[in-house]
Amino acid sequence: MMLKKFGGMLGAFGHRAAATSGPVGGPPHTVGRRKTDQKSWRAWITPAVKFYGVWGTFEHVDEAAATIATLRAQAWEYSVLTPCTRHELETAMGNPQSKIPFITLFFGATGIFVGYAFPSWTALDWVLPVSAKPIVGIPAFTIFGFEMMVLLGGLGTALSIFGLGLLDLLRKPLPRSERFKNYNRFSVDRFGIAVRCPQEQAEKIEKLMRSHSAEEVVREY
């Protein structure tokens, strides 16, 4: 009797497993669940704003800098891709000021304040007098203040870089074509410029890039 009951339980478990796991070697079924293959996780973190414009690649930094200077003089909206920091490109872009140093300063100063304020409040709330030593010992709290400065400054800087980068990508989208995604030389030895412009102005931007010896010029609309 016990064996029959145990066999019935195994049979019910086997039917349930077959209904939810699918055939051996095949993809699992999703009985009673929402399908997860509609969009990959990359689609959820990729900005939905689409790029419309022209992008080009340059071998030499002086050619890219000359193109940037012309685009900036004509008030075009552009993005620059470079494998490393080059002062020629920063000068052509008008030496834009980054907000990151000020954000790091703010979080670092906050860490110093917390590092001194929290131990001082704790010492005053639970007073433990030791001989003639002061209750609030500023030199003793310096180590804690330094560590909090490093902690909050580092975390605040990292989160700010991620947040500002994502915000800038939403405001100024980059090309999303397979050709652009598979072009990995922007991180090796090539400079790139992506210009957002209406389709009727694409030919003008393309001629400008080619006049400065662009290797490739691609339109995306």
93, 80 in Cβ contact below 8 A? yes
Tell me the helices (H) and strands (E) count for the chain, helix number first: 8, 4
Q: Is residue 58 part of a domain?
A: no
Q: Looking at the predicted structure, is the pLDDT value of residue 210 above 60?
A: yes
Q: Looking at the predicted structure, is the pLDDT value of residue 27 above 60?
A: no
Q: Looking at the predicted structure, is the pLDDT value of residue 200 above 70?
A: yes
Q: Is residue 35 part of a domain?
A: no
Lowest mean pLDDT among 61-70, 108-117, 145-154, 166-175: 166-175
How far apart are alpha carbons 117 and 125 in whole angstroms? 12
- How many independent structural domains does the chain possess? 1
Which residue range forms the structural domain that includes residue 108?
100-166
Backbone angles phi, psi at 155, to 5 degrees: -65, -45
Q: Is residue 15 part of a domain?
A: no
Q: Is residue 125 part of a domain?
A: yes
How far apart are alpha carbons 164 and 171 in whole angstroms? 10
Tell me how far the alpha carbon of residue 88 is from its chain's centroid: 25
Please tell me the predicted confidence (pLDDT) of residue 158: 96
How far apart are alpha carbons 81 and 181 in whole angstroms? 13
pLDDT higher for 48 or 217? 217
pTM: 0.66
Overall average pLDDT of the 158-163 stretch: 95
Q: Is residue 27 part of a domain?
A: no
Q: Is residue 188 part of a domain?
A: no
Q: Looking at the predicted structure, is the pLDDT value of residue 33 above 90?
A: no
**Could you tell me how many residues make up the chain?**
221
Q: Is residue 124 part of a domain?
A: yes
Backbone angles phi, psi at 66, to 5 degrees: -65, -40
Q: Is residue 134 part of a domain?
A: yes
Overall average pLDDT of the 38-43 stretch: 49
54, 188 in Cβ contact below 8 A? no
3-state percent helix, strand, coil for the chain, nearest multiple of 5: 55, 10, 35
How far apart are alpha carbons 219 and 206 in whole angstroms? 8
